[in-house]
Amino acid sequence: MGRLIVNADDFGLTRGVNRAVAELHRMGVVTSTTLMARGGAAEEAIEYALKTPSLSVGCHVVLVDGRPVLSPTREIPNLADPVSGKFRPSLVNLLRAVDRGWPWRGLSPHEGEGAIAGEIEVETAAQIALLQSKGLRLTHVDTHKHTHMFPAVLRPVLRAARAAGISAVRNPFEPAWSRSRTARASLLRRAEVSLLHRLEPAFRRIVAEEGFTTPDGSLGVLATGTLDETTIRSLALNTPPGTWELVTHPGYNDGELDQVRTRLRGSRETERRALTTLENLEGLELIGFAQLAAEAAANGSHSP
C-alpha cells in the first residue's frame, strides 16, 4: 500500500487559504501544511496550528516573491531588493544572484558556499525562528516555488533547518509515472519539470549528507495550476508502495487573494473542491510529515 502526505502550501498567505486548509484537515484529507512566516494571514494560521496538533506544520521558506524577515539593506542585500524591501520577484532572479543564472553550476564542490549562501541560510533560520517563537513545533521544510531543488539553495536551507531541530524536507522531484498521469499540463511546463530532473541525484546526495529524511517524490508538481479532481484521483489510485507527497495549493478566491501576486488564483478553488475526493479513499494511507520524521528518528535512518 502506498502512503501519501497531502501537503497544502502557502498556509498564512490569506484568510481564504487558511480557511481551505483548516476545512480540508478537519475532513481528514490535508495531513500537512507549510506556513509562510511573513504571509498576510500568518498570525491566523499560527493560531489555528497551535490549536491543531494533528496537523503537521512546516516552514514554507520564501526566498523569491515575498517579504523577508531580515533587513534587505543590512543583512541580505544580495537576496532581496533594498529599494522595494522584498525578495527578487522570480526564480530566474534568484538563480542569477546565486550562480550567475546557471543553476547547473550548483553541482560543483562549492555548492551552497559564498555570500549569497550565507544570506539564504540566515534568512531561512530567521523565518523558522519566527514561527518557532510563536510556539510551533515545526515538522518539516519546503520552499516557495521549489527553490531548494537547486543545490546552491538546498544546502544552506538544510543547514538552517537542522540547526533548528528539523530533519524532514520535501523531495520536489516528480516521478515519471506521476507525470504521465498529468494530462492537462502545458508542453512548456512538462519540458521544464523534465529538464529539472537532472538535479535529483544531487538533491538526494545532499539530503543524505545533511542527515535529512524525505519522501520518495512529489506528486502534483507538474499539475500545479491544473490540479483537478480527475488528476488527483488518478494519482491517488495509482500510487505505488513507498511514501509520496501530494503538493497542493487549496484556497478560496477572495479580495485578499486579489491583492497577492500569484498565478494560482483561479486554480485554488478547483484544488480545494478536488481534494475532497480523497475523503475515505480506500487503498491509500494518509500520513503527515510528523510521522515520517518520527519513523526516521526511530530507525536511525534518513532519506530513502
Residue 109: CB atoms within 10 Å = 5
- pLDDT, tens only, 83-116: 888 998 878 778 777 765 444 444 444 565 677 8
* Strands (E) located in 206-302: 217-219, 242-248, 284-287
pLDDT at 107: 41
- pLDDT, tens only, 207-237: 999 999 999 999 999 998 889 999 999 999 8
Cell numbers placing 292: 515520517
pLDDT at 259: 62
Residue 49 has pLDDT above 80, yes or no: yes
The answer to whether the beta carbons of residues 116 and 151 sit under 8 Å apart is no
Cell numbers placing 24: 480540508
pLDDT at 283: 82
Average pLDDT over residues 65-86: 90
Mean pLDDT of the chain, nearest integer? 89
Per 3-state DSSP, the chain is made up of helix, strand and coil in percentages (nearest 5) of 45, 15, 40
pLDDT at 89: 81
pLDDT at 262: 59
The answer to whether the beta carbons of residues 168 and 296 sit under 8 Å apart is yes
Structural domains in the chain plus CATH codes: 2-299 (3.20.20.370)
Grid look-up 533587513 returns: 71
- Banded pLDDT at 255 (limits 50, 70, 90): low
Verdict on whether the full-model pTM lies above 0.85: yes
Please return the burial class of 270, using the count of CB atoms within 10 Å of its CB with bins 0-12, 13-18 and 19+. middle
What is d(CA 132, CA 109) in angstroms, rounded to the nearest whole number? 32
- pLDDT, tens only, 37-47: 999 999 999 99
pLDDT at 280: 78
Cell numbers placing 101: 543564472
Residue 179 has pLDDT above 90, yes or no: yes
Residue 61 has pLDDT above 80, yes or no: yes
Average pLDDT over residues 249-255: 85
- Banded pLDDT at 1 (limits 50, 70, 90): confident
Average pLDDT over residues 167-172: 98
- pLDDT, tens only, 110-127: 565 677 889 999 999 999
Average pLDDT over residues 36-61: 97
